[in-house]
Chains A and B, each alone.
Chain A
Amino acid sequence: MLMLVCPYCGVTAEETEFAPGGEAHLSRVGPDGSDEAFEAYLFARANPKGVHLERWRHAYGCGKWFLAARCTATLEVFGTYPAQSKGPPPAVLDRIADRRGAGAAARVGRGAPDAS
């Protein structure tokens, strides 16, 4: 079973305690956005077979949203981090680079705006 660590309350728990929320780091399109931009925001998804940055909610715990880096091909979790982040923190990127190579870390680091 998938195990996740809530970055807010620090609890390590099974996936039944969390609710998945889809791809992370999607930027909301404003009222002057084009149809293409709204389509990309609402529907087009990277859906990678590999490292995926995604949203989770600690539904049966503190109730807060957080983000996770997880491999969709093996279910390995590289780390979780607060929902307010613009991209995965260095510790998570290092872990991805360690486990999947620098290319994989660069892809998810570059995919998120203002990754720091």
Chain B
Amino acid sequence: MQNNPLSRTLTRLTAATAAALFAVGLAAGGAMAKTDLLVYTSIEADELSKFKKAFEKDNPDINIKWVRDSTGIMGAKLLAEKDNPKADIVYGMAATVLLQLIPHNYFQAYAPKGVEKLNPLYVDPKNNPPLWVGQRAYVAAVCYNTIEAKKHNLPLPASWKDLTKPVYKGHVIMPNPGSSGTAYLDVSSWLQIWGEEGGWKFMGALHENIARYTHSGSKPCKLAAAGEIPIGISFAYRVVKSKAAGAPLVLVTPKEGLGWEVEAMAIVRNTKNLAAARALADWTVSRRSMELHAPGYAEVALPGVPNPVADFPKVGGLMIKNDFAWAGANKSRIVKEWTKRFDVKSEPKKK
């Protein structure tokens, strides 16, 4: 076979092609030696590309690979992987979830460049350098569908207590704290506003008006946007989005005060891409990134960055003094108590 001229040509051709491919591969490899940074996150899906583009523009040698899901699923996933974490950095995740992971030695401390400029409320108070750094806050809010409310003659509520009035019976939806972090935010804030006794009493009265509890935290507002229910207890970002899509919604911020949660980041203990993870942390606290974090959110970690959404209510003064450590430490007890009181009603509610 070796003596066949055609075969010889073929052999040479193959060798030449291989060599060429090898050279191209080397060149491409050199140009594309990007670090893949595995980022676990729960930020809204439509924000992912915005952050990725901006960060990669400033850090062309890093490629963000998102792993995104709802807070509950990400929390379960992170915990399931605790013996052998897969992520490089956890980003835009509810601080209560991070606090739950800290006892499992999940993270390593790092002070991003410029962390001192942040509002100290957003930085891990227990460790220096901090284990986690907050990015922004989202607040509880009530969505009110003007068209459906008019059909049922429901006045615009001004406070949480208003929602317990008999007129709203069967017209309010909220998420189930057994499955939704947003719901726990509400429940824990009510317990902090009125104390344990007052808080449970309020929830008992509210329960009488609740049509049903949903699994996800953003769903009540989306249901309100779809006219499935006149009033949904959810968080503000979704209201802003649904309104932009054309839903007849009004954002209500009850006057007793609003529960809120910090979206934060933390570098995973065994990351193989420490430099890239730190680069993302540094970039996140920069002013440019904070401006990207602002739209639709109550507040960002860097003071003085305004929310550009025009009709977003001023909620700064309404945010309660939220004790995250308490909320985290008591979560399982509170959820159990809530389940016992309100999830028992397994029959569909009679109208």
A binds B: no
